[in-house]
Structure 1
């Protein structure tokens, strides 16, 4: 049976019925049936309508198929618990595949319980003949989970215990689903009516037509049988379930139910694995970020069908995520020809990231690239004056076109200047602010816009200074520029947080870099400036705090999403004193420095 069933977006939806093991399944199709087929499998307690945004986007150039799983929506409703076992659910998927794409393998994309049951199909021997690829969101293979738990119980390190406790807290509802009458009563007595509000408050999604569905209460109550029929038996008796099907794992970093740790070691079971992340909650990935998920699916299916891999997808398939924490990431570093910039670029490269660097001195930037390549990174260099907004925009566009939108941006380029306010000329003020403040503004705007539009989150690091909160009468322009960077970072952090983009302000103290050898001084002759530079450089050299230590703090700031990171003892001490006794810092500011 088939016909025109509904319209959820710009592409008409056609409905047919496919029977699997005696159960009628409501199947919905969009797009040209002669194009590559993508099969979308929903989870609990949803229906096919949870995929509306993703399906409408993919239907522009794919044949998109969805179906209500057994017990949900318009599909048949078996009464026995045994009728919800994983082998039958996998059989449903294969029945739909055979009906909508006979003779040609399809690309499967699944979420939540849809992902769990799709793993059952994907790990069946010979599944590659009917499944061309598998994209999984928030639903691991139960056999893999059981073996993951056993491995951690066998080696109960503090990290493993923490992972087990975290996932146990995420999985509280599974226990509730196994208690007699409790969960069904909750759905019947009001939870179904309030589900839209729950999604809005906890998941950050806006209810829309078709979701939550009108059949939610019945779907949710019947769907509990999925857990009761499969969870305990599979966890108690796990099987070895490898697959040769290419797998794209999309980890949702804000998921309240599935922790990222569950996917550790997945390469053992799925050696052809691409790892990607989306800063989304369990349901917002589909209901709010559907275009991002659709783009990832399109890149994956296109590549497997013979197209060149998009830069982000290419990095996602390199593996080594557990051993190199920034594997699969792209880091942009400005002012990377020496000092903190070079050290940071190399630190990211050593930990698996690709790097795009720029500097006014192109030869120095290219030397950084050579060193990064020796560490195994894909790296490129540009000559960029960060004070020129148009030049930074061009730099961002070229990076995105050649390497992809970056995951991490480090706005490091800066210059030093010393002088009292009245001695600092307007030209000197402009030079310092153009590089130190406007350079950061340009970098944040150019790359921040790209990162937000991509929808995969990321991190921006801005190099401020202890001078941002440590006033000095002889650092008027420099301290003002860094204070601007400090406050800009806090403002931007608040703005970009909903997009999953973190922002950190790094505040070094006295660090032995080239900046002291290029610092300018107000009111001094050329010879006096040279003498002052040598003296200051000597003091910084004696302090001997290397830029590599600052780079390590930058990487920790990105990993831990830290807002403010003072670096060096004096920077931390000034931050503490500034909070404890601001007047003391103001008094100290009257002392000449340098």
Structure 2
């Protein structure tokens, strides 16, 4: 039984990962950036899977604060004796603007959460795992991390590209420590963030809906796959990708012959 800490796990893919780990028999510390979001995660798990609550803990943590991230580590290690897997999932995607048009405060928020927050999580987890003698750290990547360009995602993609480099560097520096460092690319998953962006930019969403519908997936589909791959990973530097090039090509080809059920309807879009 592993103990897993997931930042940004009050909703979306983070919550889905936490629930999938619990269903696989592991212990999970869920983390939200506010007390309300953290309590909402507890309530959601209690409603959906009350039998799993004993394996879970909930903690509020702003990952841009080193002190709060350290407190998260201490709570997890105190509650479950050690931390086996740490997933830096907390992130922010604010898209729909060009690089010149995006508000400065949105740039700062993405830089702080996506980069500084993940760096804080890695440094804290790595130090704790060095004392333990082992552990796994995974960073959540996203669009742009491989250098590809998506309209409206110039700043977000830049943070994820930088995070890819950082993760490679961390894996090199920790290669003799017994700590495994990996990356996760979950693909295009319909989360609260995508729904929010669609409602804020309905015209942009309408133009891309048909194309996106061939590629997006639901959290409950993707999360169990990612969890199993995280558990199976035994080599540092690996990337776990749900939506790879072959799958993308296959779906686009299939879309020419049959229409995929609308993946957005169940989310009120």
Match 2:217 to one of 545, 549, 553: 545
Shift of 1:460: 0.8
Residue in 1 aligned with 2:233? 560
Deviation of the 1:451 alpha carbon: 0.9
Distance in 1, Cα, partners of 2:87 & 2:10: 13
Q: Which of 363, 378, 381 does residue 39 from structure 2 map onto?
A: 363
Question: Are 2:65 and 1:388 aligned?
Answer: yes
Contact 1:358 1:382 in 2 (8 A): yes
Correspondence for 2:3: 330
TM-score normalised by length of structure 2: 0.78
Residue of structure 2 in register with 1:406 after alignment: 83
Partners of 2:193 and 2:204 lie apart in 1 by 10
Q: Tell me the TM-score normalised to structure 1 length.
A: 0.37
Q: CA deviation at 1:503?
A: 1.2
In the alignment, is residue 495 of structure 1 matched against residue 173 of structure 2? yes
Shift of 1:565: 2.0
**Which aligned pairs between 1:167-178 and structure 2 lie closer than 5 A?**
none
CA contact (8 A) 1:399 1:405 kept: yes
CA deviations over 1:45-78 (Å, ceiling 9, x no partner): xxxxxxxxxxxxxxxxxxxxxxxxxxxxxxxxxx
Which residue matches 1:508? 186
Question: SS where residue 413 of structure 1 aligns?
Answer: coil
Q: 1:417 & 1:350 partners in 2: Cα distance?
A: 32
Give the C-alpha shift of residue 430 in structure 1. Answer: 0.7
Match of 1:462 among 121, 128, 139: 139
Distance 1:464 1:472, change over 3 A: same
1:531 paired to 2:202: yes
CA distance in 2, matches of 1:496, 1:504: 11
Question: Matched residues in 1 for 2:221 and 2:215: separation?
Answer: 13
Once the 2 structures are TM-superposed, how far is the Cα of residue 555 of structure 1 from its aligned partner?
2.9
CA shift for structure 1 position 392: 1.5
Between structure 1 and structure 2, the one with the greater Rg is 1
Alpha-carbon distance in 1 for matches of 2:200, 2:144: 21
What displacement does 1:530 show? 4.8
Q: Distance in 2 between matches of 1:473 and 1:530?
A: 13
Higher relative contact order (CA 8 A, sep 6+): 2
Q: Is the 8 A contact 1:508 1:571 kept in 2?
A: no
Q: Residue 443 of structure 1 is aligned with which of 118, 121, 127?
A: 121
- Aligned equivalents of 2:88, 2:246: Cα separation in 1: 19
The equivalent residue for 1:427 is: 105
User: Pairwise CA RMSD of aligned residues?
Assistant: 2.8
